[in-house]
Structure 1
């Protein structure tokens, strides 16, 4: 088998693996920085039909080749005329000389004292710069309308050509994760295909001799593997191509073969279990043997143990994340470390999750020196204020707490006990997806 290849600047030279066992752990922000500094985006572009590009990362700027809208047009149903002819002191009368429809413009020029019945989206006729809504007109007949003074200001209810997007302007910038409105925007420009970064290929597996798949009988002392299912769901939300490698036994031969297979077929490898102090050290030995991997103790709860680096096999390489084994710790580590790294690999812009302030409904115990991610239920009270309570026991193995919660209460590194009524910071789960 090939020998491992390590880069010139080693993670373990940047932060020694000795920090893993030291009481002074790395802060959450430090770990994020170290991961970010080590990630090199993967540049591989493919062109997709616009309707298939949802959730993908835009690879190039989208420049508008047309004005949107293409013409000055009416913002509502009503009558179009020249605003300068309106009187401020008495009723103004206009003769109705025709109609303008969306997609079927009025042919001709509208003179002073004349108007055209116009529909929303119809091109503004020559000579017109103002639209009065139908319901605001004082009197209406087939041949004439009467407008009371002060009913409408000159220039009202008209959308200008290029008001949404002017020709030659950047409509969407590269690195944007495409959302439904972005697809509609490109369609409004007549764009049928869009350049996007290819999907990341992510391989993942669970380790632990006590784990069983859901279709297996549960032997004494064993538990069902939930981590692969939560990982599968979180990675699916990020629109990755997934390689589920199942359960991998805790022995060096099997682990090395699994790591090599994952490395040769994926951009990223994610494992759960086997990185804590006191665990059988097969996974740590194998990671270290195959590449440059650092094992960190992160000053956080849940999710203290973590491994990150790069592994190599047969001329291929892949980033690797070794996450804890406890289910909640896996999800917290993924949302606050792995997700950002995956988006960085795809060349996506980093948009931090929206942080909100809420009143704590109870005492929350906390000691300084670590960041805590408590599972919370946020709701608006009768006074319209956002308040939050924890879901109960916050053990890192209580996956039910994630199912019941709708947010993380984020208690910062130096923060101490929270009293009832104190303000806390939270981020909604929907903002993490």
Structure 2
């Protein structure tokens, strides 16, 4: 009998950690970072709110008209037939009417203009006839219509944004509506990234006969290009155990997170896992996922460490399914726009063995009935980066799933909201 050795490409390898357990262990081992900075709100989009924001005033601050029209006493609305009311003045946004409006009369009013205290209803101008300083209205109207009450949007003392909110454009507008010019946000997360391998060269270099261009580091640059992350570029690190240890240890003194690609399999030149063992703490290094099985997680110095596979598709899959949730946990994000999953009918057969999660690259669209359908982008090898570039979604085949036939429902995760 042949005694086989463990291999990260062996689909029959046993003892691999399920994806859910791996992600849970990662998140349970990563506390949120401390520290914050104060920013003007126009610079705060995409940052994480450090402290809860409570409104110091009502929004809107005064009762006002929701339309251009005529403000009046609701008691003047006709139960049937029509009513004729004299127009006694005008109220503009920012220029309130200072007089009084008696019953039987009305006030011309513009959108956003303050309502005089005695008036409680606004007739849209398109629903009134005006002639010789009088309006005529019919019985279709209701008391209180077209009026925005003070505090209708936000009441004084109300919590409007909670700590941990990833600030979006509407949030920035909301802060401005409260008269808030600056806000405290979590400090940036510092992430060091490196590619490893003697065969790797930068895109501007001329590769050797056996060399390949470094795409992994640039994929990670793009994935990490967000306002709450600061990137430290460690460049390409050669396959040398001592050099790797030195560079990782140095990065561990400055970064919150280190992400390297390559060198985490079981080959003789896969030194990244060795460096992690010698310099820090290894939590695990193989996960039941395809692509991305050789995923190492642990710590070096003060930094969390992710050793991602060397194949470019596996790098992106493991980043979005494991690293990104970890970064958001460390940033203290508890409220953010979600990347939803959908169910779609596969238009082709998908081969799958139970016992691992498979992430295929797909193109989601709608059929003639409006139902979601999905097809793969072709060959699904972990080194075929074109399969990611063509895709607009991940096809997620869960741990215990078996092969799917054309017409079966599968889970898909659109890239919209992720990238």
Using the size of structure 1 for normalisation, the TM-score is 0.92
Contact between 1:377 and 1:388, CA under 8 Å: does it hold in 2? yes
Matching of residue 396 in structure 1 with residue 385 in structure 2: no
**Structure 1 residues 46 and 19: alpha-carbon distance in aligned structure 2, compared to 1, 3 A threshold:** farther
**What corresponds to 1:407 in structure 2?**
393
2:308 aligns with one of 315, 318, 323: 323
**What corresponds to 1:261 in structure 2?**
250
**Structure 1 residues 19 and 390: alpha-carbon distance in aligned structure 2, compared to 1, 3 A threshold:** closer
**What corresponds to 2:328 in structure 1?**
343
**What corresponds to 2:20 in structure 1?**
29
Matching of residue 132 in structure 1 with residue 123 in structure 2: yes
SS at match of 1:310: strand
Deviation at 1:432? 1.6
> What root-mean-square deviation, in Å, do the aligned CA atoms of Structure 1 and Structure 2 show?
1.7
Matching of residue 383 in structure 1 with residue 372 in structure 2: no
**Runs of 5+ consecutive residues of structure 1 not aligned to the other structure:** 1-17
1:368 aligns with one of 354, 371, 375: 354
SS at match of 2:365: strand
Contact between 1:368 and 1:415, CA under 8 Å: does it hold in 2? yes
Corresponding residue pairs, total: 410
Q: 1:8-407, aligned counterparts within 5 Å? A: 23-137=14-128, 139-150=129-140, 152-237=141-226, 239-278=228-267, 280-312=269-301, 317-349=302-334, 353-407=339-393
**Runs of 5+ consecutive residues of structure 2 not aligned to the other structure:** 1-5
Deviation at 1:23? 1.1
Deviation at 1:66? 0.9
**What corresponds to 1:3 in structure 2?**
none
Deviation at 1:281? 3.7
Give the distance between the partners of 2:116 and 2:418, measured in 1 at CA. 48
Give the distance between the partners of 1:341 and 1:108, measured in 2 at CA. 61
**What corresponds to 1:429 in structure 2?**
415
Runs (4 or more) in structure 1 with deviation over 4 Å come to: 18-22
Contact between 1:327 and 1:399, CA under 8 Å: does it hold in 2? yes
Of Structure 1 and Structure 2, the greater helix share is in: 1
**What corresponds to 1:14 in structure 2?**
none
Contact between 2:51 and 2:162, CA under 8 Å: does it hold in 1? yes
Contact between 1:96 and 1:117, CA under 8 Å: does it hold in 2? yes
- The worse-fitting range, judged by mean Cα deviation, of 240-249 and 423-432 is 423-432
Give the distance between the partners of 1:396 and 1:95, measured in 2 at CA. 77
Contact between 2:165 and 2:335, CA under 8 Å: does it hold in 1? no
Residues 348-387 of structure 1 deviation map (CA, whole Å, 9 limit, x = unaligned): 1165531112121221111111111111111122322221
Contact between 1:293 and 1:309, CA under 8 Å: does it hold in 2? yes
